[in-house]
Amino acid sequence: MKSYRKELWMDTDSRRAYLNITPQINECLKESGVKEGLLLCNAMHITASVFINDDESGLHADFDRWLEKLAPEKPYSQYQHNGFEDNGDAHLKRSIMGREVVVAVTNGKLDFGPWEQIFYGEFDGKRAKRILVKIIGE
């Protein structure tokens, strides 16, 4: 069995961002040489997410507005977590949007349904963070 591991670095200019990382994940899959197996991709930080959805800018704006309604960034004082930090909202947003995705690898390709793409969701950005990519198979 082949096993592949890579860390990808992200560093967004804004506090929140939704980035399509499918091209980078496809590069990893190519590099791994795996044709049949499973690909795991997870955010290595507890204020960022990796999730699968549609690459449509209106939807990304909707995600952002929805998350801000559920866990508004401000006022910072509304969160008990914000004693020494200001990212209580980002931890909650990450929990809603999830930590990781697993995608089947078939014939050397990500076996997506129609319109599925992999996204990095950043909720406390402006600093370098990592994504883990693990691929196993033959």
**In terms of CB distance, is 39 or 67 closer to Zn ion?**
67
| Buried residues in 17-35 as b, exposed as e (16+ CB within 10 A) | bbeebbebbeebbeebebe
Question: Could you give the CA distance from residue 91 to residue 102 in angstroms, rounded to a whole number?
Answer: 21
Q: What is the smallest separation between the CB atom of 70 and Zn ion, expressed in angstroms? A: 17
| Cross-strand partners of 137 | 2, 37
Q: What is the smallest separation between the CB atom of 12 and Zn ion, expressed in angstroms? A: 17
Q: What is the smallest separation between the CB atom of 77 and Zn ion, expressed in angstroms? A: 15
User: Which residues in this chain contact Zn ion in the complex, by CB under 5 A?
Assistant: 85, 87
**In terms of CB distance, is 88 or 137 closer to Zn ion?**
88
